[in-house]
Amino acid sequence: MSEETEKKEESLFDAPPMAEQERMVEAMLFASAEPLSTRDMGERMPHGCDPAEAVVHLRKRYEGRGVRVAKVGDAWAMRTAPDLGYLMSRETVETRKLSRAAIETLAIIAYHQPVTRAEIEDIRGVSVSKGTLDVLLESEWVRMRGRRRVPGRPVTYGTSQEFLDHFGLESLKDLPGLDELKAAGLLDDRLPPGFNVPDPDPDNDPEEDPLDADDEFLDPLEMDLPDAEQPSDEDLTA
């Protein structure tokens, strides 16, 4: 079939008006338990629809309302306006209680990704226990990204879209910087010269290969061999 014939056939089916496309996007985002990308929405919408443009219109319509259309990584979701989050506090039950070791490990992964287990241990000064990584992987806030192009090909870790969604971040660029961490009292004002907060690299790392097909069936700690005997998380004192 020639390109001209295809165009003629496509023209026989006009896309719904933008107002109707906007309603479709609104319905999908409202009903979905997970953020949806424009590609996900486009696959469900009639031929010729432009979900990206519909999202732009929908975001404007929800500006200043109690619910907003929020960007989560490369996807979109309906979320409560940040300034009204306190109204939901009684309705939310926090089931994830992270240990100090897990919080430190999550922070290192968030700011240093892509990062290997050995690199996490170098930064923390203690070995990462199986339980710590298991909790972060099961929460789906952390994912296995790939393998470093070095001897042994250790697995690299990074944060997930679920991490962005849970903490209300559009992208990793929205992670708190040095000044914000100081203002929140999370860093001492008397910092050593040259201290900075690293910028995570969410894009493909030239020194990183994708995971092998069989990697998803392996235990994360079985994919990396410990470099040396170091104190574990359980040896730390609070």
Q: Is residue 6 part of a domain?
A: no
Selection from 53, 96, 58 nearest residue 77 by Cα? 58
pLDDT at 200 over 90: no
How far, CA to CA in Å, does 212 sit from each of 141, 144, 196, 199, 215?
21, 11, 34, 27, 5
Same domain, 106 and 223: yes
Q: What are phi and psi of 118, to 5 degrees?
A: -65, -35
Instruction: Name the CA radius of gyration of the chain, rounded.
Output: 22
pLDDT at position 213, please?
A: 65
123 and 43 inside one domain: no
* Maximum Cα–Cα distance across the chain: 73
pTM for this prediction: 0.58
Q: Is the residue at 60 inside a domain?
A: yes
Q: How far apart are CA 183 and CA 229, in angstroms?
A: 37
112 shares its domain with 218: yes
Task: Name the helix (H) or strand (E) containing 70.
Answer: strand 67-72
Last residue of a domain, one of 52, 85, 118: 85
Distance between CA atoms of residues 97 and 25, nearest Å? 35
In degrees rounded to 5, what are phi and psi of residue 138? -70, -30
**CA gap 31, 78 in Å, rounded:** 9
Query: Distances from the Cα of 76 to the Cαs of 15, 28, 73, 133, in angstroms?
Result: 22, 10, 8, 28
184 within domain boundaries: yes
For 46, the domain range is 15-85
Whether residue 121 sits in one domain with residue 34: no
- Give the pLDDT band (50/70/90) at residue 124: confident
Domain count, the chain: 2
High-pLDDT (> 90) share of the chain, %:
32
Helix, strand or coil, per DSSP, at residue 206: coil
4 inside domain:
no
pLDDT level of residue 9 (50, 70, 90 thresholds): very low
> How does DSSP classify residue 207?
T
Which of the listed residues 50, 85, 120 is the one where a domain comes to its end? 85
- In the predicted model, is pLDDT for residue 29 greater than 90? yes
Torsion angle of C-alpha atoms 198, 200, 204, 208, degrees rounded to 10 = 60
Are 73 and 108 members of one domain?
Answer: no
| One domain for residues 189 and 110 | yes
User: 139-169 pLDDT, tens per residue?
Assistant: 889 999 889 888 888 989 999 988 988 888 8
Q: What percent of the chain clears pLDDT 70, i.e. is strictly above it?
A: 68
Indicate if 75 and 134 belong to the same structural domain. Answer: no
Q: What CATH number does residue 25 fall under?
A: 1.10.10.10
